[in-house]
Structures are given as C-alpha cells and as structure tokens.
C-alpha cells in the first residue's frame, strides 16, 4: 500500500488540527502550499508561526498584544475609566470593528461554567478588581455573552463590584437582533426584549 511521502503526511496531520478541518481539507491545504504558495509565502507562514511566541496577554486588560501594553490600553485618547468586560479576545475585536466604543476592555478569558468546570479562579478578574479598588473606574459594562455562563459571570462580577458604590455597573441589552423577524425569535429573547422595552420617541 502506497502512502504519502512522510513530509507530506506530517503536514497534512498538522493541518488536521485546525478547527473544522478534516483529512480531505488538510490534504487540499497541504497540496495548495506545495503547488500554489511561492517560496517566500511559505517562509512568511513559518516566521509568522514562529512569531506567535511574542504574543502575550496585556497585563492591564488581558487582551492579546505583542508589545508591553495592548493598543487599547496604550491609547491615551480613550477613556480609561470606562471598562467593558468581555469573555474573550475575539469579543473585543468584534466590538472594536464597530469603531464606536471609546473606553477600554477587560478580558476574562472565559466564563463561569459548571459543565466545563470553569470556576472564578480560572478567570482573569484580579486586575479588574485592583482597578476598582484603586478608584480607577467610573463604569463597568458587563458584555459577557447572553448565555447561562455569561449571565452567571455577569451576576458574579456585579456582586463583587457592589463593594464600590461609586462604580456604575451596566449590562449590554438583550433583545431582537436588528433585521430579524419577531416570529423567528426564541421565547427567552422575546421575553427579554419585552422586559427591556424603552419609551419610543
């Protein structure tokens, strides 16, 4: 029985580790690298992977950065007393794409989950509470996901922040996604949308 040359087989196995990539797709990627990538493109991919070791958590907010502080925390034009708490770095990037938010972030790296065994000790909470204790925060926006885990985490943080009555704590709104039809919304969303109704002017 014939096998791929080991070099090729190894690369296919590496690509198979990517999310949603099975054997067939991994083969396609490997052949594409062999046949279609220019030599310098392969070198670039290699050095880009090697450079990943320069990426680390921003000590202030927990976001990803390759310098001392992340580009949000090192930006003096932003309001550092307004802190949005998100579960994941990806949430931060999604929010930043809006180009609307001018505060800073705090990345928890997860949410409290009993089923996944994630407890508060696994989350990046300390540096947020330090900022709160040092009176560096006016408002905390809890922007964890609208899931059981996100809600539990938001609730837990709210309890902690109750110790600082000067800090306003808000939660992003639940409701119908823009562009969606009421008829397709699930019951929980409808309930929350009704609960969160506001005067229509």
Bridge pairing between strands 168-171 and 79-86: unpaired
Q: Mark 2-21 with x for binding to a copy of itself (rule: CB under 8 A) and - for no binding.
A: xxxxxxx-xx-xxx-xxxx-
Element (H, E) at 46: helix 39-50
Q: Give the C-alpha separation, 38 to 41, whole Å.
A: 5
64 binds a copy of itself (CB under 8 A): yes
197 binds a copy of itself (CB under 8 A): no
Site for a copy of itself (CB under 8 A): which residue of 40, 48, 77, 181?
48
Q: Mark 68-107 with x for binding to a copy of itself (rule: CB under 8 A) and - for no binding.
A: --xxx----------------xx--x--x--x--------
Site for a copy of itself (CB under 8 A): which residue of 22, 46, 177, 180?
46
CB 55 within 8 Å of CB 66: yes
Phi and psi based region of residue 117 (left: phi greater than 0; alpha: psi -120 to 50; beta: remaining): left
HSE at residue 91, side-chain half, CA atoms within 13 A, is 21
Q: Mark 138-157 with x for binding to a copy of itself (rule: CB under 8 A) and - for no binding.
A: --------------------
Q: Which is nearer to a copy of itself, 51 or 170 (CB)?
A: 51
Shortest CB 106 distance to a copy of itself, Å: 15
Q: Which residues contact 21 (CB under 8 A, 6 or more apart)?
A: 15, 29
Cα–Cα distances in Å, from 89 out to 34, 56, 73, 96, 165?
33, 12, 14, 11, 28
Count of residues near a copy of itself by CB under 8 A? 50
Bridge pairing between strands 139-142 and 103-107: unpaired
44 binds a copy of itself (CB under 8 A): yes
Shortest CB 11 distance to a copy of itself, Å: 4
Site for a copy of itself (CB under 8 A): which residue of 22, 23, 51, 188?
51
CB 49 within 8 Å of CB 33: no
Q: Summarize as ranges the residues that interact with a copy of itself (CB under 8 A).
A: 1-8, 10-11, 13-15, 17-20, 27-29, 31-34, 36-37, 41-42, 44-46, 48-52, 54-55, 64-67, 70-72, 89-90, 93, 96, 99
């Amino acid at each position: 029985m014939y096998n791929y040359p080991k070099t090729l087989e190894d690369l296919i196995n590496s690509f198979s580790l990517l999310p949603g990539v099975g054997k067939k797709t991994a083969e396609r990627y490997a052949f594409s690298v062999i046949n279609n990538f220019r030599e310098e493109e392969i070198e670039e991919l290699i050095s880009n992977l090697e450079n990943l070791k320069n990426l680390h958590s921003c000590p202030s907010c927990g976001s990803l950065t390759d310098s001392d502080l992340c580009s949000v925390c090192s930006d003096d034009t932003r309001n550092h007393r307004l802190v949005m708490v998100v579960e994941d770095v990806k949430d931060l990037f999604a929010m930043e794409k809006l180009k609307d938010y001018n505060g800073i972030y705090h990345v928890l790296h997860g949410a409290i989950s009993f089923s996944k065994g994630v407890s508060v000790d696994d989350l990046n909470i300390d540096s947020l509470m330090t900022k709160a204790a040092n009176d560096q925060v006016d408002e905390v926006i809890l922007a964890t996901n609208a899931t059981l885990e996100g809600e539990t985490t938001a609730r837990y943080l709210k309890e902690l922040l109750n110790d600082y009555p000067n800090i306003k704590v808000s939660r992003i709104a639940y409701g119908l996604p823009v562009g969606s039809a009421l008829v397709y919304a699930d019951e929980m969303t409808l309930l929350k949308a009704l609960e969160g109704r506001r005067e229509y002017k």
